């Protein structure tokens, strides 16, 4: 037992009434960010957490050194050819942020550091770069910075020949920017009061932002706007998109024309190659099909099918090179690439051998290239950059992340299993553990999940995770419905009025791990962040007796009050993920699972909950209110800790060393909860 008590948030009841229902939110005052009492309360929460974790100081130092010891502190990325230059980033020992470098694509060319983010970050507790875009002639650089963690970016322009900043400075922008071919102007997007990118402007260098030309404005608050160039550099694509619906405008000469008007629940994207646009669209099935049409014939009567819709294959993306078309697909929960040479009908595949992995295209800047660059990794394979020759079919390893300290992949196991959910749906689980584990005994297990927005929880590499696995921990990933691991229908089955499937899938994964002897209740800790924080929050309020601990990062746990406040960032745009509470049926369904609404008197397990004071995605008050209500209703003696980063947002600390300290803190809490210290 601790000799000090957890902070008790005072109650300040706010009454609500909707659809004939009345309820009280006794901790609504925690939303008052400017209230000195609020800031004092958050500081008290941090002090309580600091004191509760004081006994782990030595362990945290050990973990920090372990994790740092697996990082090549001075390193560089594989250069990306773009025009006459090779672009890459470097890190240097002792410096928090990378250096952005380039050199001419010729032998013995000298390096030029064109942006030092360490210098830009000086004097700021938080620093993040948004866009980093050289002009077409590579003489100028447009870049944007966020120094609060609120994802509100400011654009600056630098002369790369002289190193001098230009007078151009544009505030309150989104991380979307595209240069015009004249090298004297660019397009960018700006945010509305709810931090939605809703306008596109054209900026002429040297002019004040107030003189910029408005190109496009979207009034429907469900939709966000973004502008980018095709890989061929011939067209600008202005994409207007909600969670379920897309509309694209195209420009070749500065005048934007509508390609296909928006139609509710129809999503599409465009890729340009030579005389054709390739169209990825879900008009005949949720897993999308691929068509093409001549660049001067946009009417649907001119469209011809390239790949049909398939029930068991999800078409994620299409990428055009001058001579090849590459598609990214998912089948059986795993990603692959297929490609086709222009003029040929045969498709060839790039397959990967491991049972679970993560792979994605990376750094393919050159439209004329005949090679495909991708990054591959798995729990036992460090991130590895390959150049795949599309002509010969040979993959060349360009660089594998070095893991100092003698990492040996042969000491570890990765396997896949399934859990049967409440409706007999098979839910994939990926397991990562050290060989030699005694399967006759239950082991400390960390079960991770996300399950929203169609985002996938693929099995990647983590050097820091080895500090847990090497201590006998089993790491598990639950690929629950709400992601798109098994195709877009997998996402549909875990959103809107199907959202409870995500939580029940996660509970089924936990029960399966226990039933098959991997772990036991007291040794099973669950982890999730943001929408994954909703996942673990809903699971623990449904089944508090099932878990031995909860690690919730910036958890989205006050779903009712957030979705009722249309002034908050993301709210209106997410009606198509969670539902609009103005609809009585959607309101009642959200109330049925929202963790904050469903806290009841029960014996809750230990918890570590994190928040960011400047977080625009999940406001700090959501985890703060949830923790307050959990403590009030907790019948157990377990500690429920809240840790608030007072100078950052959704993604935590921005510097790499600061981030390692955060991870070491969380790992120390895990090991303490498992009684492994």
* Residue 379, both tokens: 């729990």
CB 270 within 8 A of CB 237: yes
Q: What is the mean pLDDT of residues 484-493?
A: 98
Percent of the chain whose pLDDT exceeds 70: 100
The 3-state DSSP class for residue 497 equals helix
Q: For position 254, what pLDDT does the model report?
A: 85
- For the chain, give the number of residues: 677
Distance in angstroms (rounded) separating the CA atoms of residues 56 and 669: 8
Per-residue pLDDT at 14 = 87
- Angstrom CA distances, 15 to 21, 64, 598, stand at 11, 46, 17
pLDDT for residue 438: 95
pLDDT tens digits along 363-373: 999 999 999 99
SS3 379: coil
Q: Where are the alpha helices (DSSP H) in 389-487?
A: 466-469
Q: pTM for the complete prediction?
A: 0.97
DSSP state of 544: G
Selection from 590, 618, 624, 579 nearest residue 195 by Cα: 618
Q: How confident is the model at residue 308 (pLDDT cuts 50, 70, 90)?
A: very high
Q: Is the separation of the CB atoms in 466 and 509 below 8 Å?
A: no
Q: What contacts 30, CB < 8 A, 6 or more positions away? A: 9, 38, 41, 621, 624, 625, 628
The H or E element that residue 72 is part of is none
Task: Lowest mean pLDDT of 68-72, 374-378, 615-619, name the range.
Answer: 615-619
Residue 26, SS3 per DSSP: coil
Q: How confident is the model at residue 1 (pLDDT cuts 50, 70, 90)?
A: very low
Would you state the pLDDT for residue 3? 56
Instruction: Dump pLDDT digits (tens) for 86-100.
Output: 999 999 999 999 999
Nearest to 505 by CA among 487, 491, 520: 491
**Average pLDDT of the segment spanning 11-16:** 87
Q: What angle do CA 303, 371, 76 make, to 5 degrees?
A: 125
For residue 488, give the DSSP letter. H
Q: Please state, in angstroms and rounded to a whole number, the distance separating the CA atoms of residues 364 and 296.
A: 26
Q: How far apart are CA 397 and CA 638, in angstroms?
A: 49
Backbone angles phi, psi at 622, to 5 degrees: -65, -60
Query: 16 Cβ partners below 8 Å, 6+ apart?
Result: 22, 23, 24, 25, 564
Long-range (24+ apart) CB contacts under 8 A made by 243-252 are 243/453, 243/573, 243/574, 243/576, 243/577, 244/576, 247/223, 249/216
**Four-point Cα dihedral 219, 220, 223, 227, nearest 10:** -20
Tokens of residue 412, six digits? 């570890």
User: In degrees to the nearest 10, what's the CA dihedral of 496, 497, 500, 502?
Assistant: -40
Instruction: Name the residues annotated as catalytic.
Output: 530, 615, 650
Q: What residues contact residue 33 under an 8 Å CB cut-off, 6+ apart?
A: 613, 620, 621
CA dist 425 and 398 (Å) reads: 40
**DSSP notation for 266-283:** --EEEEEETTEEEEEE-T
Q: What is the C-alpha separation between 602 and 656, in angstroms, rounded?
A: 39
The average pLDDT across 526-537 equals 98
The band of 268, judged by pLDDT with boundaries at 50, 70 and 90, is very high
């Amino acid at each position: 037992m601790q000799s000090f008590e957890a902070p008790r948030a005072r109650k300040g009841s706010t009454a609500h009434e909707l659809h004939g229902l009345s309820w009280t939110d006794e901790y609504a005052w925690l939303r008052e960010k400017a209230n000195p009492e609020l800031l004092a309360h958050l500081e008290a929460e941090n002090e309580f957490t600091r004191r509760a974790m004081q006994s782990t100081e030595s362990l945290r130092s050990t973990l920090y050194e372990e994790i740092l010891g697996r990082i090549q502190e001075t390193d560089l990325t594989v250069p990306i050819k773009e025009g006459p230059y090779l672009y890459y980033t470097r890190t240097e020992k002792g410096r928090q942020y990378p250096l952005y470098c380039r050199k001419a694509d010729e032998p013995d060319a000298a390096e030029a550091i064109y942006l030092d983010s360490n210098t830009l970050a000086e004097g700021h507790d938080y620093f993040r770069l948004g866009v980093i875009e050289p002009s077409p002639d590579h003489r100028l650089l447009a870049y944007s910075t966020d120094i609060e963690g609120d994802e509100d970016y400011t654009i600056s322009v630098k002369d790369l020949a002289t190193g001098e900043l230009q007078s151009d400075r544009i505030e309150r922008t989104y991380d979307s920017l595209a240069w015009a071919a004249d090298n004297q102007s660019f397009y960018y997007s700006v945010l509305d009061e709810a931090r939605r990118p809703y306008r596109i402007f054209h900026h002429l260098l040297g002019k004040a932002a107030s003189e910029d030309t408005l190109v496009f404005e979207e009034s429907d608050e469900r939709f966000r706007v973004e502008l980018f160039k095709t890989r061929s550099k011939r067209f600008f694509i202005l994409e207007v998109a909600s969670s379920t619906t897309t509309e694209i405008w195209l420009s070749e000469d500065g005048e934007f024309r509508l390609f296909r008007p928006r139609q509710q629940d129809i999503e599409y994207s465009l890729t340009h190659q030579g005389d054709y646009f390739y169209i990825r669209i879900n008009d005949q099935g949720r897993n999308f099909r691929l068509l093409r049409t001549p660049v001067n014939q946009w009417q649907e009567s001119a469209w011809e099918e390239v790949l049909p819709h398939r029930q068991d294959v999800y078409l994620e993306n299409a990428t055009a090179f001058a001579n090849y078309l590459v598609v990214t697909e998912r089948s059986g929960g795993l990603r692959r690439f297929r490609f086709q040479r222009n003029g040929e009908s045969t498709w060839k595949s790039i397959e990967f051998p491991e049972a679970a992995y993560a792979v994605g295209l990376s750094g393919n800047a050159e439209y004329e290239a005949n090679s495909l660059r991708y990054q591959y990794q798995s729990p036992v394979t460090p991130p590895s950059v390959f150049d795949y020759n599309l002509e010969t079919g040979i993959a060349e390893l360009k660089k594998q992340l070095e893991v100092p300290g003698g990492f040996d992949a042969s000491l570890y196991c990765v396997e896949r299993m399934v859990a049967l959910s409440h409706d007999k749906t098979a839910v994939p689980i990926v397991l990562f553990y050290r060989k030699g584990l005694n399967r006759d005994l239950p082991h400390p297990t960390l079960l991770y999940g996300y399950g929203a927005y169609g985002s996938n929880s693929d099995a990647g590499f983590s050097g820091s995770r080895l500090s847990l696995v090497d201590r006998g921990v089993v790491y598990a990933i639950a690929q629950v419905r709400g992601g798109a691991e098994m195709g877009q229908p997998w996402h549909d089955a875990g959103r809107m009025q199907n959202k409870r499937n995500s939580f029940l899938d996660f509970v089924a994964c936990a029960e399966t791990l226990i039933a098959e002897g991997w772990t036991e209740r007291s040794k099973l800790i669950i982890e999730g962040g943001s929408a994954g924080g909703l996942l673990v929050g809903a699971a623990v309020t449904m089944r508090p007796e099932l878990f031995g601990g909860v690690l919730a990062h910036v958890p989205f746990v006050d779903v009712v009050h957030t979705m009722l406040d249309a002034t908050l960032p993301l709210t209106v745009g997410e009606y198509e993920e969670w539902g609009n509470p103005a609809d009585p049926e959607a309101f009642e369904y959200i109330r049925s699972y929202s963790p904050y609404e469903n806290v009841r008197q029960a014996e809750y397990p230990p918890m570590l909950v994190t928040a960011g004071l400047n977080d625009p995605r999940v406001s700090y008050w959501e985890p703060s209110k949830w923790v307050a209500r959990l403590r009030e209703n907790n019948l157990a003696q377990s500690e429920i800790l809240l840790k608030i980063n007072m100078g950052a947002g959704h993604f935590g600390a921005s510097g790499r060393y600061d981030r390692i300290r955060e991870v070491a803190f969380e790992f120390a809490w895990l090991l303490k909860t498992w009684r492994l210290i």
